[in-house]
A and B are shown apart, each in its own frame.
Chain A
Amino acid sequence: MKRFITNSFYFIALAGLALSFNACVSGNQKQQKSVEENIVGTAGPNDEMMEEFAKSKLIFYSLPSPLETAMLIKRSGASFNEELLNPLENIDKYTTNKKMALNLGVYSADLSYTSLFDQTQSSIKYMANAKRLADGLGILDAIDESTIHQLEENMNNRDVILDIISETFMSSNAYLTENNRPALAAMVLVGGWVEGLYLATKLSNGSLENNKKLIDRIIYQKLSLITVINLLEEYKEEEDVASVLAQMNQLQVIFEQVKIVNTSKVEVETDAENKTTTLKADSETHISKDVFEKLLNKVDEIRTEFIS
């Protein structure tokens, strides 16, 4: 199976070449592709096509982005705490590609968090730091001076600010993945994911009772962690990735003690008027105080290593 990974999207060199040639041979006769020949003339999906799909599919692993994580935190009713952010002055410590990538993710998460809570002055400063790290990684055009100016000009328009953040995050990610640096792109995403988890755990104030919605958000990161690990596994031959993967595996040992149990059947309902589908199901979660403490400590330890 060809496995193409992205948090976004990753071309390994040979497969990339293969795809490019595909792109360039659009005039080729279908007879030249023996496997596809079997399904010529079939409109729409059928069993044979799906079988072929299973053999040749590319795989994307999609993590919750910094923006989505910040939205989850805000929707849980948590508050803003500036003291939790990675201090701006830490940026001078980040001189290796690994640290720059991880902290581009970290600062992107902080940027999203400040923006969701309308801390625009902080957002501008964190965007400037994200720009410095993107520049350091050689990412061209993702964040430029005009991006900062756009933020300044739209200080009171959260929608525009969020749009600018999502655009810059996508551009950085696309640049790295499509310039044969997918491992660094993965590290940016993992840095952002860890920072989001750090913010959520700190905002819980160590209590399982204060904000149950926030605790649920933390517990369900158990599912995202599987995606994180699958993503990093693809690049584990690289030393920098291997060390981050080891940290994620340590985190998984703790998350394995967290229980998520499905308690109802899945029902699918579509609202005919607004054409929105609801996937109805229930589940219950359980985490002991002891495991929660271990989780908080491990997240804190990993994040401290990332930002130091």
Chain B
Amino acid sequence: MSRAYKAIISTVIAILLVAKVNGQCVAFAKESCKSKLETYVHDGNYHAATLSEGEGVELHKTFFEGQDYRLVICKAEKLPNIYFKVINELGRVVYDNSKENYKAIWDFNTSKTQELTVQIMVTEDSEKQVLSGCVAVMFGIKKMTD
């Protein structure tokens, strides 16, 4: 088999794998994450990625005064803990889940509208293998009562 032919086959396989892995994260987000919002309404935005140990994402979002939010971070079962911290516009850490045993749900509200940055990272605790899997981030908003 020629080198060029092998390269084409490899690329096609890789593209198919991208579709498969990404597709799995959509289903993962819907099936494993959304229910954790419980009584909060999902805002409809989609944030998910396949991450390996040590990899992370940073999310920027404006949060509005008067809304109650729930932040949920879900991970594939095989992955170790997910570390996340929330930083305000002045660079101050306003929440750090490592201080609460890597809790994956944070309920909060803000008395002034502000942009917050959520830094999320897959911790490392396996000695020999690099584990990878889907990580999804979802925001819920408390339902209106009227």
A-side contacts of B46, CB under 8 Å? 6, 8-9, 170, 173-174, 177
Segment at the B interface, from A62-70, A236-244, A291-299: A62-70
- Cα distance, A296 to B144, chains bound together (Å): 28
B-side contacts of A159, CB under 8 Å? 41, 143
Whether the pair A25, B130 counts as a contact (CB closer than 8 A) is yes
Partner of B111, one of A21, A44, A274, A279: A279
Whether the pair A53, B121 counts as a contact (CB closer than 8 A) is yes
Chain A: minimal CB distance from B77 (Å): 13
Whether the pair B144, A278 counts as a contact (CB closer than 8 A) is no
Chain B: minimal CB distance from A58 (Å): 4
Whether the pair A65, B45 counts as a contact (CB closer than 8 A) is yes
Whether the pair A40, B127 counts as a contact (CB closer than 8 A) is yes
Interface centre among B30, B53, B102 (most CB of A within 10 A): B53
- Cα distance, A213 to B57, chains bound together (Å): 33
Whether the pair B18, A49 counts as a contact (CB closer than 8 A) is no
Chain B: minimal CB distance from A19 (Å): 5
Whether the pair A58, B57 counts as a contact (CB closer than 8 A) is yes
Whether the pair A178, B26 counts as a contact (CB closer than 8 A) is yes
Whether the pair B43, A20 counts as a contact (CB closer than 8 A) is no
A-side contacts of B104, CB under 8 Å? none
Whether the pair A60, B47 counts as a contact (CB closer than 8 A) is yes
Whether the pair A36, B53 counts as a contact (CB closer than 8 A) is yes
Partner of A166, one of B41, B51, B107: B41
Q: Is the interface of B mostly helix, strand, loop or mixed?
A: mixed
| Interface set of A (CB-CB < 8 Å, partner B) | 4, 6-9, 11, 13, 16-17, 19-30, 33, 35-36, 39-45, 49-50, 52-53, 56-68, 71-72, 74-75, 116, 159, 162-163, 165-167, 169-171, 173-175, 177-179, 213, 216-217, 220, 223-224, 226-227, 230, 262, 266, 268, 274-283
Whether the pair B49, A27 counts as a contact (CB closer than 8 A) is no
Whether the pair A282, B44 counts as a contact (CB closer than 8 A) is no
Whether the pair B49, A19 counts as a contact (CB closer than 8 A) is yes
Whether the pair B108, A220 counts as a contact (CB closer than 8 A) is no
A-side contacts of B141, CB under 8 Å? 67-68, 71
Whether the pair B62, A60 counts as a contact (CB closer than 8 A) is no
- Cα distance, A130 to B111, chains bound together (Å): 35
Whether the pair B49, A279 counts as a contact (CB closer than 8 A) is no
| Shortest Cβ-Cβ A-B pairs, 5 listed | A8-B46, A169-B44, A62-B61, A166-B44, A178-B22
Kindly report which residue of chain A lies nearest to residue B42, judged by CB atoms: A166
Chain B: minimal CB distance from A53 (Å): 4
Could you give, for residues 64-77 of chain B, a 1 whenever the CB lies within 8 Å of some chain A CB and a 0 otherwise? 11111000000000
Whether the pair A28, B112 counts as a contact (CB closer than 8 A) is no
Chain B: minimal CB distance from A215 (Å): 12
Chain A: minimal CB distance from B60 (Å): 5
- Supposing A36-B124, A39-B124, A166-B44 touch, asked if A20 and B18 sit within 8 A by C-beta, the answer is yes
Whether the pair B54, A36 counts as a contact (CB closer than 8 A) is yes
- Cα distance, A56 to B55, chains bound together (Å): 7
- Cα distance, A220 to B125, chains bound together (Å): 41
- Cα distance, A33 to B73, chains bound together (Å): 26
Offer 9 A-B interface pairs, CB within 8 angstroms, sorted by A: A7-B45, A26-B130, A27-B129, A36-B130, A60-B137, A72-B67, A166-B44, A223-B62, A281-B110
B-side contacts of A9, CB under 8 Å? 46-49
Partner of B22, one of A11, A170, A274: A11
- Cα distance, A275 to B95, chains bound together (Å): 13
Kindly state whether residue B19 has any CB partner on chain A within 8 Å.
yes
B-side contacts of A282, CB under 8 Å? 111-112
Interface centre among B108, B113, B127 (most CB of A within 10 A): B113
Kindly report which residue of chain A lies nearest to residue B14, judged by CB atoms: A17
Partner of B81, one of A22, A27, A28, A44: A44
- Cα distance, A59 to B47, chains bound together (Å): 10
Whether the pair A75, B66 counts as a contact (CB closer than 8 A) is yes
Chain A: minimal CB distance from B41 (Å): 5
Partner of A60, one of B52, B60, B67: B60
Interface centre among B57, B83, B92, B102 (most CB of A within 10 A): B57
A-side contacts of B124, CB under 8 Å? 36, 39-40, 42-43, 49
Whether the pair B111, A22 counts as a contact (CB closer than 8 A) is no
